[in-house]
């Protein structure tokens, strides 16, 4: 029975979606910043199918010393820098919020081991109303780099 559930859960993750309450996570993937990387990031689309606004307020994982919600800001000189978003990301009712390269994302700092393509990492997303949602995020280093078809 447990094995059947595990296989069904794995199949659902392969399809790229997982739901908890009114929150659905679509197309999650993670990348490290290069060989021997000490940092990485996860990207996904968060869909709120409910009738109430919600907010992603935190993320956690045992793959890194610290996990934070980050975004990219452009300073007055046109230089992009990553900053922590302490208030999290709003996910309005009936809408979605994309976590994508060059924008909002889940940041892993102090990786305990490099992310290996084809493996998965476990990440717990904490929502203001929906609560905790643990997802398996595939490591995919083949996605287009910044400026080549994805948001950054």
Distance CA 17, CA 49 (A): 13
Q: What is the pTM of this model?
A: 0.79
Q: How confident is the model at residue 139 (pLDDT cuts 50, 70, 90)?
A: very high
Give tens-digit pLDDT for 81-137.
889 999 999 999 999 999 999 999 999 999 998 888 889 999 999 999 999 999 999
Which own/partner contact pairs does 109-112 have at CB distance under 8 Å and 24+ positions apart?
109/38, 109/39, 109/64, 109/65, 109/66, 109/67, 109/68, 110/38, 110/39, 110/64, 110/65, 110/66, 111/32, 111/37, 111/38, 111/39, 111/40, 111/63, 111/64, 112/62, 112/63, 112/64, 112/65
The fold for domain 2-138 equals Immunoglobulin-like (2.60.40)
Q: Where are the domains of the chain?
A: 2-138
Structure tokens at 144: 């287009």
Task: Tell me how far apart the terminal alpha carbons of the chain are, to the nearest angstrom.
Answer: 42
Distance CA 108, CA 63 (A): 8
Residue 140 scores a pLDDT above 50: yes
Distance CA 124, CA 131 (A): 10
Beta strand pairing call for 120-127 and 96-99:
unpaired
Residue 59, strand partner residues: 125
């Amino acid at each position: 029975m447990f094995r059947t559930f595990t296989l069904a859960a794995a199949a659902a993750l392969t399809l790229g979606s997982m739901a908890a309450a009114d929150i659905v996570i679509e197309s999650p993937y993670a990348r490290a910043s290069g060989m021997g990387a000490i940092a990485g990031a996860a990207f996904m689309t968060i869909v709120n199918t409910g009738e109430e606004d919600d907010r992603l307020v935190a993320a956690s994982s045992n793959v890194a010393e610290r996990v934070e919600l980050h975004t990219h800001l452009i300073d007055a000189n046109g230089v992009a820098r990553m900053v922590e978003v302490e208030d999290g990301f709003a996910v309005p009712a009936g809408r979605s919020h994309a976590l994508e390269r060059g924008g909002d994302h889940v940041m892993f700092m102090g990786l305990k081991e490099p992310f290996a393509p084809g493996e998965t990492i476990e990440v717990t997303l904490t929502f203001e109303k929906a609560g905790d949602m643990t997802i398996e995020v595939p490591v995919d280093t083949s996605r287009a780099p910044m400026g080549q078809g994805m948001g950054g």
